[in-house]
Amino acid sequence: MIRQATPEDLPAILDIYNEAIRTGTAVYRCAEQTLEEKRVWYEQARASGFPVIVFAEGGSVAGFGTFGRFRAYEGYRYTVEHSVYVRPAHQGRGIGAALLGALIDTAGERGYAVMIAAIDAANAPSRRLHETFGFLHAGTLHGVGWKFGRWLDVALYEKRLREDVPEAR
């Protein structure tokens, strides 16, 4: 079940996120976050009108997703960048796809025109998932991340959500 996250979900969201920091390259952070940092992130996202959603299963959070500003300049106001994280034990069961689909629908309903994904270039499953949803590979930035003692490449993907120009924001 996908629903809006609540403050009570933050410990689970933090656990999922910190596991991604510790064990993988889905995020190029090296230091784990605290619950207070995640609380501030959550409050800022909600205050800015950006969704934070969770996939709840059996009373626990199996994954979460969100989107936010792509860049701060007003010319980018119709473009968002998203993130989806799923507990490793729950990966490969369609949870990431369900979260991504919900974020795409929400962004379109809210008048955004483009959604961006920045994916570790070596993450073939995430790249395939995004391509399944119609994201196009827009380019790769080589050696822009450093984690686990090596340089990492970021593949940028884009999805056009609408062609018309929404009302001015």
Place 58 in a pLDDT band, splitting at 50, 70 and 90.
Answer: confident
- Domain borders along the chain are 2-160
Name the token pair of 71.
């860049």
Whether 169 shows a pLDDT value over 50: the answer reads: no
CA gap 10, 150 in Å, rounded: 31
CATH architecture of the domain 2-160 equals 3-Layer(aba) Sandwich (3.40)
C-beta of residue 96 within 8 angstroms of C-beta of residue 104: no
Model pLDDT for residues 87-141, shown as the tens digit of each residue: 999 999 999 999 999 999 999 999 999 999 999 999 999 999 999 999 999 999 9
Region 50-79: mean pLDDT is: 96
DSSP H or E segment with residue 151: strand 150-160
What mean pLDDT do residues 43-58 have? 96
The Cα 159–Cα 155 span in angstroms is 13
